[in-house]
Amino acid sequence: MHDPLHFDAATLHAARPGRVTLVGAGPGDPELLTVKAARLIGGAKVVLHDALVGRGVLELIPRTAHRIDVGKRSGHHKLSQDGIIELMIRLARSGHELLRLKGGDPYVFGRGGEEAQALAEAGIPFEVVPGVSAAQGAGACAGIPLTHRDHATEVVCVTGHLRDGPNGTRTLDLDWPRLARPQQTVVVYMGVAALPLICERLIAHGLSADTPAALVERATLPEQRCVAGTLETLPALALVQAVKPPALLVVGTVVSLQPVLARAMALAA
Cα torsion 225, 229, 230, 232: sign: negative
CA distances from 114 to 85, 93, 148, 197, 237 (A): 9, 18, 33, 28, 36
Catalytic (active site) residue 45: no
Q: Rounded CA gap, 100 and 112, in Å?
A: 9
Q: Give the CA dihedral 242, 131, 77, 45, nearest 10 degrees.
A: 130
Q: Which of 29, 50, 102, 105 is catalytic?
A: 50
Question: Which listed residue (36, 45, 72, 78) is catalytic?
Answer: 72
Phi, psi of 240, rounded to the nearest 5 degrees: -65, -40
Amino acid at 7: F
The C-alpha atoms of residue 138 and residue 30 are separated, in whole angstroms, by 15
Please indicate whether residue 164 is annotated as part of the active site: no
- Cβ atoms of 55 and 80 within 8 Å: the answer is no
Which active-site residues does the annotation give?
Answer: 50, 72
